[in-house]
A and B are shown apart, each in its own frame.
Chain A
Amino acid sequence: MTQVTLSGLTKIFDQKSPPAVDNLDLEIESGKLTALLGPSGCGKTTTMKMIAGLLRPTAGDILFDGDSILSIKPEERGAVMVFQNYLLFPYMNIADNIGFGLKMRKVNKKEIRSRVQDMLDLVQLPGFEDRKPNQLSGGQQQRIALARALIVQPNVLLLDEPLSNLDAHLRDEMRVLIRRIQTEMGITTVFVTHDQEEAVVLADKVALLFDGRLQQFDAPDSFYDTPNTVDIATFFGGTNFIPGYYLDGTITTDIGVFDAPNSLVPEGDAVLSIRPEAVDLGEGGENSVSGTVLSHVYAGRYARFQIRIGDIEIEAVTEPGQVKLFADGDNIPVKFDPDKIWVLGPNTAEQPAATTG
């Protein structure tokens, strides 16, 4: 179990372009599964390669359990990276691939053989020893790549987009497998992904990066409930934004005044954000306004409504049964639960400091 600390970590590839990773501070908890999330080109994989020792940081430090490991060679760090495209050595059979790390550690052949067996059982591919990588499907190659990393009992396991090359069905299977192995072995694991759903489902904690900078490092639900910026909320998708002015626990907008105890801004211009699931239709009283149903979609497990309030259009996701209650064109009361309103800073230029904790 190893705690990984990134301190002011910076990587500049080219002086003319902005840093790939910019002054990144991150505390990756021991034995936990942490996701590095962000759109492509945000520096996730670069960060991972620096942790693995495959890239030298331009500035900053990386610590394992409090000790800087920058001077330690990649082969001695015990941080094993599994690449996105698996990179099974094509001229070695599966047993030799999995046993590679042990062979490099001069483990005797007999022990290698038995531990390779264990690993094949662990990734549920027993009997694959003599096959060649090109005889395996993508999903199988992925599992072998995982086994090859796990066999050396790494301090830190680094997975680069472990699910992106798999189809939907295999992805679920792999997700379960990674979670199970990680829990069983308790290895500090970092994985890179561009898919926010994947990050939320799999990780204990998510670090969101835009343009090499940390935006938010939190438990998955915080990204939905209390995002730091409009950009973050937008990346996680489907949130309603209504601009307004915040003062003393209420936000005044063009469509009305709402109680909002939860705010990131103490006072001033702000944005009210509320998720479609938190919009209650047909309920009046406190924090409610009148709106017009523009359209609706019945989706089996839920229903989705487009509502116009004043000049603003919002989306509401409700119980499927509600499609029977409201027709297009109806004027209905729309209520925002004060506890589910989250007030953010007004623009993306001034970003509040990323919360860690």
Chain B
Amino acid sequence: MTTAPAPLPGIAPRTIGRTTLRWAGIMGLLAFLVAPMVPLFIWSISFRWFYPDILPSEYSARAWEQVISPTNNVIGATGQTTLIALLCTVLSVLLGVPAGRALGLHNFKGKRIVEVLILAPIIVPGLAVVLGIDTMFIRYGLSGNILGVTLVHLVPTLPYMTLVMSGVYANYDVDYELQARSLGAGRWATQRYVTLPAVFPGVVVGALFTFLISWSQYVLTLLIGDGQVETLPILLFNFARSEPAIAGALSVVFILPGILVLLLSSKYLSGDSAAVGGIGNI
């Protein structure tokens, strides 16, 4: 992540060139990121839309009525997806922050091995991992319920959280904690007033990733949820073939939290916050 330096006042001729270039960049990025979503939205309000028409010949609110209607359980699935993603985020933070601290601050025997193993769930296809886990989960009654799905979502998310935090802590000077202790802060006060504010942007970024990764899980939810746990991606896949209009509307619902979370946390994602320097520089 790099931020372009602010244009300097007083260098007028070059400033214009730069501004133009920057706007071109922004527009290009928007076209690339937002344009693919436009057809989704149009699908959701179309009734008839056949080749070679650029826009649908007839519009309808039917898809959105379907989304709201209780029979399709969209609202329930949205709630379920949110709940799982939130639980998963909380667990990731609770486990990943201390793990990241250990990796970022301390040197211990076998640290390199741990670092490689942490990446393993990201490198190994989720399907392979989950097939192994599935039998265990069935045995312990974790198959087909929210708890099991939440736990299995930790497989792809916890590595992200840990890696983000280890980067943050690698850039963190522990002497700040010693300084706080020396000035009269106890262990907890030190964590609360000194460490947490320093690593907070990293926690936000990690939590954001975790939430979105969990939110968009399909394969893991399908296998461990065993058809009992219905999340938005599952629902979306069901409609994708048969009902493109409803799938379009669902996609819009599906994309929303990502955009929302991204906007809310954008100030932590910009390279300006010192604590995220670690990942900012990668």
Residues of A within 8 A of B181 (CB): 53-54, 73-75
**Interface residue? A95 (CB, 8 A):** no
A148 to B185, CA, bound (A): 13
A100 to B194, CA, bound (A): 10
Summarize B's interface: helix, strand, loop or mixed: helix
Residues of A within 8 A of B182 (CB): 52-54, 74-75, 79-81, 158
A90 to B173, CA, bound (A): 12
A13 to B181, CA, bound (A): 21
Residues of A within 8 A of B173 (CB): 87
Which single member of B175, B186, B194, B198 contacts A75 (CB below 8 Å)?
B186
**Interface residue? A206 (CB, 8 A):** no
A103 to B197, CA, bound (A): 16
A100 in contact with B185 (CB, 8 Å): yes
Interface centre among B180, B181, B186, B194, by most A CB within 10 Å? B181
**Chain A 89-105 near chain B by CB (<8 Å), digits 1 or 0:** 11100000000110111
Summarize A's interface: helix, strand, loop or mixed: mixed
Which single member of B179, B183, B186, B274 contacts A90 (CB below 8 Å)?
B274
A87 in contact with B185 (CB, 8 Å): no
Q: A83-B175, A83-B179, A100-B180 are in contact. Are A91 and B186 (CB under 8 A)?
A: no
B176 in contact with A104 (CB, 8 Å): no
**Interface residue? B13 (CB, 8 A):** no
B274 in contact with A54 (CB, 8 Å): no
Q: How far is the CB of A159 from chain B (nearest CB, A)?
A: 12
* B200: nearest chain-A partner, CB-CB: A91
B185 in contact with A75 (CB, 8 Å): yes
Q: How far is the CB of B245 from chain A (nearest CB, A)?
A: 49
Q: Which A residues have a C-beta under 8 Å from some C-beta of B? A: 49, 52-54, 73-76, 79-81, 83, 85, 87, 89-91, 100-101, 103-105, 148-149, 152, 158
Q: When A and B form their complex, which 6 residue pairs have the shortest distance between CB atoms, in order from nearest?
A: A101-B183, A104-B184, A74-B181, A87-B179, A81-B182, A104-B185
Q: Which B residues have a C-beta under 8 Å from some C-beta of A? A: 173, 175-176, 178-186, 189, 193-194, 197-198, 274
Show 12 A/B contacts (Cβ-Cβ < 8 Å), sorted by A: A52-B178, A52-B182, A75-B183, A80-B184, A83-B179, A89-B176, A89-B194, A89-B197, A91-B198, A100-B185, A104-B180, A104-B183
Given A53-B181, A74-B182, A89-B180, 11 further pairs, Cβ under 8 A: A49-B178, A52-B182, A75-B185, A76-B184, A80-B183, A83-B175, A87-B173, A87-B176, A100-B185, A101-B183, A104-B185
